[in-house]
Structure 1
């Protein structure tokens, strides 16, 4: 199974990688905000372009690692 990338654009922004939209929504609600948020699947290239400026201590290996996680999150949290 391949990880996909999902962008949440509601009250709190998040870019999450997960195996399915349902898994991404569940992860968002558990770790970011428990409300419903508009979510769309985005390409890996789009996700990388959003993620790349925030690299800092994070590496490309973290980006492609097969683990469900938040790549970017609203700085207001």
Structure 2
């Protein structure tokens, strides 16, 4: 199964990588905000362009790691 990237915009912004939309929503609710948010699947290229200015804070290894994770968020996660 391949990780996909999801952008959640609502009470708080988050870019999450997960195996499914449902998993991204659950991870968002557990780690960022428990309020329903708009969810859009985005391409890896879009995710990379969004994360690239934060390289150093976010490692390339973290970006490509095969695990569910919050890539960016309005909150310090």
Common fold: TM-score over 0.5: yes
Superposed displacement of residue 56, structure 1 = 1.5
Count, aligned residues: 77
Alignment of 1:28-47 (within 5 A): 28-47=28-47
Alignment correspondent of 2:11: 11
Q: Hey, which bits of structure 1, 4+ residues long, moved more than 6 A?
A: none
Task: Indicate the SS of the match to 1:7.
Answer: strand
Using the alignment, how far apart are the partners of 2:61 and 2:27 within structure 1? 21
CA RMSD between the two structures: 1.5
TM-score (norm. length: structure 1) = 0.93
TM-score (norm. length: structure 2) = 0.93
Using the alignment, how far apart are the partners of 1:10 and 1:46 within structure 2? 19
